[in-house]
């Protein structure tokens, strides 16, 4: 569907670590290439349903990346997001040289413990007027 052609970072809107990552990405994304949607939002639910992503993302509830054509999960999501930032951050694409099971093991360890280590919010963040076009749903 043409509605979902932008690169979109899908994140756990109640996770402090995920929200912190979004704040950093908003600052680093100087060309405003990335858009963001909380996994708890109606927008994310629609994207997942329309693109039939349920099976691919089953059990993943921290950060995902929709590049406009396909979904990237776990460590691949992080690497692809960094690639979209351009500049110095593209060098992190070299992380693909590390075998995926090793990268995903580290990702899973952090994701599993993120609430205990970083805490939780009661609700998703509300975008400021200047961020409204980049924070979806």
pLDDT reported for residue 125 = 59
Q: What is the pLDDT of residues 47-65, one digit of tens each?
A: 999 999 999 999 888 999 9
For residues 7 and 81, what is the distance between their CA atoms, to the nearest angstrom? 9
Greatest C-alpha distance within the chain: 41
pTM beyond cutoff 0.85: yes
Confidence class for position 134, pLDDT limits 50, 70, 90: confident
Written as six digits, the tokens of 45 are 């639910």
Percent of the chain with pLDDT over 90: 67
Alpha helices (H) in 1-137, listed in sequence order = 16-28, 42-50, 54-57, 74-85, 100-118
For residues 53 and 37, what is the distance between their CA atoms, to the nearest angstrom? 15
Confidence class for position 2, pLDDT limits 50, 70, 90: very low
Tally of CB atoms within 10 A around 50: 11
Per domain, the residue ranges of the chain are 8-132
Question: Pick from 78, 56, 69: which is nearest to 11 by CA?
Answer: 78
């Amino acid at each position: 569907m043409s509605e979902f052609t932008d690169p979109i970072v899908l994140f756990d809107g109640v996770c402090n670590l995920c929200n912190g990552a979004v704040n950093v990405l908003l600052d680093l994304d100087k060309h405003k290439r990335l858009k963001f949607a909380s996994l708890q939002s109606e927008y994310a639910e629609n994207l997942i349903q329309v693109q039939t992503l349920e099976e691919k993302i089953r059990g993943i509830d921290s950060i995902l990346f929709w590049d406009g054509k396909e979904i990237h999960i776990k460590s691949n999501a992080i690497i692809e997001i960094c690639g979209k930032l351009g500049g110095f951050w593209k060098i992190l694409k070299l992380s693909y040289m590390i075998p995926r099971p090793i990268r995903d093991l580290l990702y899973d360890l952090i994701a599993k413990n993120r609430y205990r280590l970083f805490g939780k919010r009661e609700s998703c963040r509300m975008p400021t007027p200047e961020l409204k076009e980049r924070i979806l749903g």
